[in-house]
Amino acid sequence: MKGLIIINAYPNGEKFFRQAERIAEELCALGIETDVLRNGEVYAGVNEDGSIYAKLPKKYGFAIYLDKDKYLGKMLERSGLRLFNCATAVELCDDKMLTALALDNAGVKLAESIPAPLCYTPQAKADEQFLLNVAKKLGFPLVVKKSYGSFGAGVQLVHGMPELIQTANEFLYSPHFYQRYVAEAAGRDIRVIVIGGKAVAAMERVAKDGEFRSNIELGGKGKNAPLTAEIAEVAERAAKALKLDYCGVDLLQSKEGLIVCEVNSNAFFEGFEAATGVNVAKLYAKYVLSAIESPCKDGKKY
């Protein structure tokens, strides 16, 4: 059996290649050869009769999907290929507000979040009455987040009505939402990697001075953190509810307990491996093989 790893057509830096290479290396050590293809090197689309095609250069037993492109993922699945993660899970995680909606009844706490009404009208202005209601409900400071975004970009803390109105207008044509600020967690979060439903390690990230976002890309520092039973349970619940084979769950420690901040279907593991000493790529490769060898009835592990 051969495996396939798919990366985005426009990789933004070396770490995208390294992530693919590390997984390929660990699969190779387990006797599985893989090819790495970019989205765009796979010919896929919809025929005139409405049928879907996805033409791959060879026959593959599975694909590790490191892209977030929901279209190609769905077409590959339609062609019968098992994706790690499945296309729907990637789609849900790519949109932070959809993630929150999908975690309904998952038995995890979230920070209260109110989506901004989507705007399709040119030259519109943000609805100030709506924003007043948001401010009344969430209080200041509050967090404004673009639904699509990574590395802390598109996440802002706003302190009063003028700033809220200004940010709402700047974000008007990007899906975004307003979130309660978890002040106790300011500048800190816990990243947990979950593979095949099992939390494997935890890393605490601490933001640089004066920054409330703990993203490494914004100067945050990661260090190994104890993987307590509570941390593992919350992260595993989130991963399971979203049917993820692999993910990084970000948790905020609040007065009321752990809050799921974000679930990353495509979490980079290089920094996490360095901080925790856990070989994430190896555990993921092992899991992929076990899931392929003994799938559940529907071909999925869950």
User: What does the binding site for Mg ion look like in residue numbers (CB under 5 A)?
Assistant: 250, 262
Question: 182 touches which of Mg ion, ligand ADP, none (CB within 5 to 8 A by kind)?
Answer: ligand ADP
Question: 197 touches which of Mg ion, ligand ADP, none (CB within 5 to 8 A by kind)?
Answer: none
- Kindly state the smallest distance separating residue 223's Cβ from ligand ADP, in Å: 15
Neighbours of 295 (CB within 10 A): 12
Footprint on this chain of ligand ADP (rule: CB under 6 A): 96, 111, 143, 145, 149-153, 155, 179, 181-182, 185, 189, 212-215, 250, 252, 261-262
Q: Locate 178 and state its tokens.
A: 């307003």
Question: 281 touches which of Mg ion, ligand ADP, none (CB within 5 to 8 A by kind)?
Answer: none
Query: Are 7 and 39 spatial neighbours (Cβ–Cβ below 8 Å)?
Result: yes
Query: Of 91 and 250, which has the nearer Cβ to Mg ion?
Result: 250
- Residue 203 CA to residue 222 CA, distance in Å, equals 6
Query: Of 63 and 259, which has the nearer Cβ to Mg ion?
Result: 259
Residue matched to tokens 């979060």: 189
Q: Which of 80, 76, 64 is nearest to 286 (CA)?
A: 64
SS3 labels along 148-185: CCCCCCCEEEECCHHHHHHHHHHCCCCCEEEEECCHHH
Query: Of 69 and 250, which has the nearer Cβ to ligand ADP?
Result: 250
- Kindly state the smallest distance separating residue 214's Cβ from ligand ADP, in Å: 4
Q: Measured at the alpha carbon of residue 268, what is the angle toward residues 223 and 106, in degrees to the nearest 5? A: 85
- Kindly state the smallest distance separating residue 8's Cβ from ligand ADP, in Å: 16
- Kindly state the smallest distance separating residue 291's Cβ from ligand ADP, in Å: 27
